[in-house]
């Protein structure tokens, strides 16, 4: 049995189980300060262990930016988030210390990518991208069967996108103004239309879907030219807005404009909605836990 924490900016979702259809226990925690939020999550797992649930490892998928290099002294930390009070928070450390079991740590979107890869819309693929369109825009990528990591982790929401003709909205990203996230995240759509994206109706809703579809395609174009994925899976609240995926597919064909001539890019199966919805992140943390348990066993074997 594995434990997992989807550590989002507004809520933590703690789970115990082995997959999206095998979650034994769940606790949702409204996020306050780092210490209280982490303690509330620890309390959930401590009680479960005390009640006899054997936890082999725990996985954490965190909002970011986070430090993923194990050689770095701040491995497992949230680094420089704009979220007040959270910069420099050690997230992985307290779990390892309090529970004494292996801890897997990655971004929330990388966790969701893993889950969509095993149980969802990217099953069987070696290389794919998972994007989430919601309060922010984020992305995780699997390359050759493994999560993409490097100096840091993908920050796909901050790539540049070409302007939709006629669009003069300045964008809301505090760092870049009119990046992908700045122009097409939920709050950007809300600010453009004067009401929350999920409350839009009629002509406004249709216009919003065309707008988001345009920018989703623009982001997917540059991601596709950089990563050459077999598929792009799109989750998050905005991905469920009627018309967004269809608009994005049509726009993607127009924006790729036949280059480099891969027929796969024009097929509906190239750009698809996520299948696990809000369960992707929590389920993915269970895969992070499983990987940590395996790594822990390997380390024990190699020293034993």
Contact with a second copy (CB under 8 A) among 165, 194, 202, 260: 260
> Counting contacts by CB under 8 A, is residue 64 touching a second copy?
yes
Stretch that binds a second copy, among 8-16, 90-98, 140-148, 234-242 (CB under 8 A): 140-148
Q: Counting beta carbons within 10 angstroms of the beta carbon of residue 72, is it exposed (0 to 12), middle (13 to 18) or buried (19 or more)?
A: exposed
Contact with a second copy (CB under 8 A) among 121, 159, 244, 252: 159
> Counting contacts by CB under 8 A, is residue 291 touching a second copy?
no
Stretch that binds a second copy, among 8-16, 112-120, 144-152, 284-292 (CB under 8 A): 144-152
Contact with a second copy (CB under 8 A) among 93, 152, 273, 296: 152
Contact with a second copy (CB under 8 A) among 175, 195, 196, 266: 175
How far is the C-alpha of 228 from the C-alpha of 262, rounded, in Å?
11
Stretch that binds a second copy, among 111-119, 159-167, 184-192, 276-284 (CB under 8 A): 159-167
Residues 214-253 that bind a second copy (CB under 8 A): 218, 221-223, 225-230
Binding site for a second copy (CB under 8 A): 64-65, 79-80, 126-127, 139, 141, 143-144, 146, 148-162, 175-176, 178, 218, 221-223, 225-230, 255-262, 264-265
């Amino acid at each position: 049995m594995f434990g997992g924490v989807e550590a989002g900016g507004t809520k933590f979702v703690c789970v115990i189980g082995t997959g999206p259809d095998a979650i034994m226990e769940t606790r949702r925690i409204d996020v306050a300060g780092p210490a209280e939020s982490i303690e509330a999550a620890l309390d959930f797992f401590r009680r479960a262990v005390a009640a006899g649930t054997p936890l082999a490892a725990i996985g954490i998928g965190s909002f970011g930016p986070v430090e993923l290099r194990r050689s770095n002294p701040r491995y497992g930390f949230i680094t420089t988030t704009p979220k007040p009070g959270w910069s420099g928070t050690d997230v992985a450390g307290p779990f390892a210390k309090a529970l004494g079991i292996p801890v897997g740590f990655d971004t929330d979107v990388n966790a969701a990518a893993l889950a969509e890869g095993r149980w969802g819309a990217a099953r069987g693929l070696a290389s794919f991208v998972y994007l989430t369109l919601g309060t922010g825009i984020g992305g995780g990528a699997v390359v050759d069967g493994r999560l993409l990591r490097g100096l840091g982790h993908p920050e796909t929401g901050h790539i540049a996108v070409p302007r939709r003709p006629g669009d003069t909205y300045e964008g809301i990203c505090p760092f870049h103004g009119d990046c992908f996230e700045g122009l097409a995240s939920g709050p950007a759509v809300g600010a453009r239309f004067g009401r929350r994206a999920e409350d839009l109706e009629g002509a406004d809703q249709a216009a919003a879907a065309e707008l988001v579809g345009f920018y989703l395609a623009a982001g997917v174009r540059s991601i596709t030219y950089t990563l050459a994925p077999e598929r792009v899976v799109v989750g998050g609240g905005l991905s469920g807005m009627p018309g967004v995926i269809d608009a994005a597919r049509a726009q993607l064909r127009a924006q790729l404009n036949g280059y480099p001539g891969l027929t796969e890019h024009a097929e509906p199966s190239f750009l698809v909605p996520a299948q696990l919805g809000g369960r992707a992140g929590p389920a993915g943390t269970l895969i992070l836990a499983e990987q940590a348990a395996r790594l822990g066993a390997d380390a024990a074997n190699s020293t034993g």
